[in-house]
Amino acid sequence: MGFSMLRIEKSGFVKFIIAGLLLFTFTTSASANYFGGSRTKNAKPVVYYDSSVSKYGYTSNFDAGRAYWNSHSAVNITKSTSYKKGMDQYLVANTSVAGLLGEIIPVNSSGIEVSTSASWSYVLVKIYANQMKNLSNYDSSHISMNAAHEIGHSIKMAHASKAYNSVMPQGWRKLPSSLTSYDKGEVTKKWGN
């Protein structure tokens, strides 16, 4: 029987729990259901897709994730075909951490990983192919939802505190057909209209 990992982001803490045992806790700051702090270019970053995205066949899934958020007037996540220092990067990888579907790594202007409450210059967005393939209903819509979820974190959206109609609660669901009113409201609170 394998262990599962649960990442809980609530009330200013990120807790990693394996089989009910608290492993470690580090402080972050959340305001409402979005992260505090700021990021360069606010919700309008330029992103570069690492070669792993096309290698795994997930280009359209990341495109769908960007389109989901770009339907809000305050968001404009544009894609570049060449990498320049300071761009967000989207990657696909594998992990030995059971149940970890994706994560973000925020980075400051000095290239140092920082907390979600700090000022970010760019962020690495990772989704984990092997962990997604281990789940039931593995299909394109679920992969797109996972990409949209992690992209949401990249524009400082935190996990939804309740099971709203949103891509931000933890879990494995299909991508909504359009930006939900909950997600739209959270973007508006963080970044304005």
- Domains of the chain are 38-191 (3.40.390.10)
What are the backbone dihedrals phi and psi of residue 53, each rounded to the nearest 5 degrees, phi first? Answer: -65, -50
For the cut 70, the answer to whether the pLDDT of residue 20 exceeds it is no
Displacement of CA 25 from its chain's centroid (Å): 20
Q: Helix, strand or coil for residue 35? A: strand
Whole-angstrom Cα distance, residue 191 to residue 188?
5
Whole-angstrom Cα distance, residue 87 to residue 80?
9
Give just the sign of the alpha carbon dihedral 82, 86, 89, 93: positive
Q: Which two tokens stand for residue 191?
A: 């970044």
For the cut 80, the answer to whether the pLDDT of residue 15 exceeds it is no
pTM of the model: 0.83
Instruction: Please choose, from the candidates 12, 6, 47, the residue with its C-alpha nearest in 3D space to the C-alpha of residue 27.
Output: 12
Count of C-beta atoms within a 10 Å radius of residue 192: 10
Helix (H) / strand (E) containing 70:
helix 59-70
Whole-angstrom Cα distance, residue 116 to residue 14?
10
In which band, very low, low, confident or very high, does the pLDDT at 32 lie, cut at 50, 70 and 90? Answer: low
What pLDDT does 193 receive? Answer: 84
Whole-angstrom Cα distance, residue 140 to residue 13?
31
Whole-angstrom Cα distance, residue 58 to residue 85?
23
For the cut 50, the answer to whether the pLDDT of residue 170 exceeds it is yes
